Structure 1
Amino acid sequence: MLRFITNEKNHKFIVPILSVLFGFIAGAIIMIITGIDPLEGYDAMIKGIFGNLRKFGEWIVASIPLILTGLAVAFGFRTGLFNIGVEGQLIVGSFAAVAVGILLNLPKFIHLPLALLAAGIAGGIWGFIPGFLKARFKVHEVVVTIMLNYTALHLVNYLIKLIPGSTNTETVKILPSADLGSDFLSRITGNSRLHWGVIIALLAAIIFWYIIERTAFGYELRSVGFNPDASKYAGMKVERNIIYSMMISGVFAGFAGAMISIGTFDYGRVIGGFEGYGMDGIAVALLGNNSAFGVVIAGLLFGGLKASSNAMSLASVPKEIGDIIMALVVLFTAMNYGVKKLLLRLRKEEK
């Protein structure tokens, strides 16, 4: 068993697992220091996820946007870009889906796909802006995307209030024909808010994997991110591929917005600040090692930590403990070089 763990070929998935384990151990130490029984804390966490069918459904609901934002960040990472603007792309995608869901009255087989398409296009357009500025004028994408996050937040808050029937805090409900909700999924999960977005998130992960790992287009995107000069010398269109990378990343984020606005909820919301999906997406991508399968697993893990926060509070465990564990997991993930060195040392001692 130790030989399997210390084998360098297995580090790709062993290191993230150890990062999670170390994060939970560190979380237990913090609970002990603050006078909380870690066994009770983790028992409450598990019951908050698997305690009944409804909690299980809410766990999946919390994980869906995290998987999609994780894919958005991971796509940027795999192509040499740091898309820190996922939050803004999610916000504009959310608004686009709601706007189509309220303002158009179409049959469901047209209306729902159109709302999702609008969300993806809106996120893609928001991703196009930093991609174009980087490709054309060498403006760093981190600076532009941070600024666009705030632009998206305040612009969408303004536009929501212009939709007929909206109040200062929310829109009217979207039409049922644009709703991702599912009576079937809700019924089999104890009347949770589980919706068809779970299928979209899994399909998005498959598309991510196929583009990156199985297409010449994906190879070009990765090549440009790894070495733009060599790629240009090889005849690849570097500027175009930078723009495409940011747009595709934005599309994933736009879909994440739709999962919230026409999935978890059925109306648009005026929000006072960022809800953290973009930052959580970075954590999910890092823990998932920027791979499609890894992002899905990491999204489910972080979704579980978020979904179980209320159950932990009821058990007198501060819900912030879940956020602390998430931060610790990311910290140990970022320290993957140190974890690898530890494994290599164990391997030498084994010999």
Structure 2
Amino acid sequence: MKAAGLQFDKKEFLNKNMSAVALVLALVLGGIAMLVCGYNPFEAYGSILKGAFIGRKAICQTLVQATPLIFAGLAYTVAKKANLINLGIEGQLYMGALGTSLIALMPVNLPGVIWIPLSLLGGIIFGGLYAGLVGFMKVKFGSNEVIATVMLNTIAQNFVAYVVNYPLKEAGKSMAQTARFSESVWIPKLVDKTQLTAAIIIAVVLCVLIKLLFERTVVGYEIKCVGLNLKASETAGIKIGKIMIIAMVLSGSIAGLLGGTHVLGVDHRLIADFSSGYGFDGIAVAALAADSPLGVILSGIIFGALRAGCMVLNRTTGIPTEFIDVIQAFIILLVAAPLLVKEILRIKNGSKGGKK
């Protein structure tokens, strides 16, 4: 009998191939869009490749850009495994950043080996509880998690903005930010004179752990069962509500860890509106990864490369960096389109069956 983790999964294989095709088509369509606008797509993609992979500095910048995207993509993937749409990653990462900052700003002098994990734990708890609230509302009151998470995004961002403008604002400064954290609580850099920190290692290890969770644990198995078939899971005795809340808490905890690693590794303080939309970019990362925890690593690096390359793109060719957003939109569209067509056909066939 083969181990479960080694069995050939036809559905996963097809999803991965679909993602590869979607990526290639998105690049082709992006190139056509550039051509229509009067730009040379070959020059553009050459510039992106150079800015993303040619030289140590370029590779480091790609990994820097990929780090938050891997966290965000993984957070979305975990919720999606339970068939939950977590659009609140942005708000959860803000709450995670706040939780981390509260511990990092404590007037103590702890060694980094204790202070860093403790601070990140604060972010994990804040992000997890914030997402867990959505899971609780869905289970107890039947609220829609999409609407709830989107609304909570605004609340979290505005609350953090209030905190850094008033109670935690750095004394004597006009910027909406806290005081700088002690260097003891900074996440160590992997390469000097870059922003590449050990957060990339945390992100990759976490993807592996989540993969093992789904493959080797009862909770992971139940999350997947709930996502695949709600009625069958209920018949099998799985506590649907409990599993949904667990999935949301886990998803939010990962988002909170994203916020925590950002403030400890990049800004070294909490700043209002520090996120550039990582939470929503995570949707594209998860889509390209076909909801695979390990696929999120490669997907995050691909999007990280596009982001790193676009920094060089405008400077060397004059081509607007907004074309990267166009390519990202094409990827989501091309990944989602086959699933949408399949669902339309299912509904159509169901309607025909009902008329007979």
TM-score in terms of structure 1 length: 0.89
1-side partners of 2:65 and 2:11: how far apart?
A: 34
User: Are the aligned partners of 2:81 and 2:291 in contact in 1 as well (CA < 8 Å)?
Assistant: yes
Q: How does 1:30-49 map to 2 (within 5 A)?
A: 30-49=33-52
Separation (CA, whole Å) in 1 of partners of 2:298 and 2:106:
36
- Separation in 2, partners of 1:8, 1:74: 16
Q: TM-score, normalised by structure 2?
A: 0.87
Pair 1:98-2:98 in alignment: no
Structure 2 stretches lacking a partner, 5+ long: 1-9, 343-356
Say whether the 8 Å CA contact 2:27–2:327 is kept in structure 1. yes
Judge conservation of contact 1:169–1:271 (CA < 8 Å) in 2. no
In 2, Cα distance between equivalents of 1:232 and 1:104: 49
For residues 154 and 119 of structure 1, what CA distance do their matches in structure 2 show?
17
Listed one character per residue, the Cα deviations across residues 164-199 of structure 1 (whole Å, up to 9, x for unaligned) are: 6254422211111211132xx223xxx211001011
> 1:304 — aligned with what?
305
The answer to whether the Cα contact below 8 Å between 2:88 and 2:153 also exists between their aligned partners in 1 is: yes
Cα deviation, residue 228, structure 1: 3.0
In 2, Cα distance between the equivalents of 1:229 and 1:338? 22
Tell me how far 1:40 sits from its aligned partner. Answer: 0.9
Change (3 A) 1:326 1:241: same
Instruction: Return closer, same or farther for 1:26/1:236 CA change in 2, 3 Å cut-off.
Output: same
8 Å CA contact retained: 2:97, 2:270? yes
Which letter maps to 1:152?
A
Contact 1:305 1:323 (8 Å CA) reproduced: no
1:154 to 158, 163, 174: 158
Contact 2:75 2:255 in 1 (8 A): yes
- Percent sequence identity over matched residues? 32
Q: Is the 8 A contact 1:181 1:264 kept in 2?
A: no
- 1:160 CA drift (Å): 2.2
In 2, Cα distance between the equivalents of 1:142 and 1:104?
Answer: 39
1:184-203 to structure 2, matched below 5 A, reads: 185-187=190-192, 191-203=193-205
Question: CA contact under 8 A between 1:78 and 1:222: conserved in structure 2?
Answer: yes
- Change beyond 3 A, Cα 1:169–1:239: same
Once the two structures are superposed, the pairs formed by residues 241-280 of structure 1 within 5 Å of their partners are 241-271=243-273, 275-280=276-281
1:129 partnered with 2:133:
yes
Q: Which residue of 2 aligns with 1:219?
A: 221
> Is the partner of 1:103 in helix, strand or coil?
coil
Give 1:146's aligned amino acid.
V
Matched positions, count: 328
Looking at structure 1, the residues matched to 248 and 340 of structure 2 have their Cα atoms a distance apart, in angstroms, of 31
Letter in 1 for 2:123: A
Indicate how the Cα distance of structure 1 residues 26 and 111 shifts in structure 2: closer, same or farther if over 3 A, else same: same
Query: Residue 296 of structure 1: CA displacement?
Result: 0.9
**Structure 1 letter corresponding to 2:320:** P
Report the counterpart of residue 16 of structure 1 in structure 2: 19
In structure 2, which of residues 235, 245, 248 is the aligned counterpart of residue 233 of structure 1?
235
Partner Cα distance (1:41, 1:18) in 2:
21
Structure-2 residue corresponding to 1:343: none
Q: Distance in 2 between matches of 1:169 and 1:253?
A: 22
Q: Which residue of 2 aligns with 1:327?
A: 329
The gaps in structure 1 that reach 5 residues or longer are: 1-6, 341-351
Q: Distance in 2 between matches of 1:246 and 1:169?
A: 30
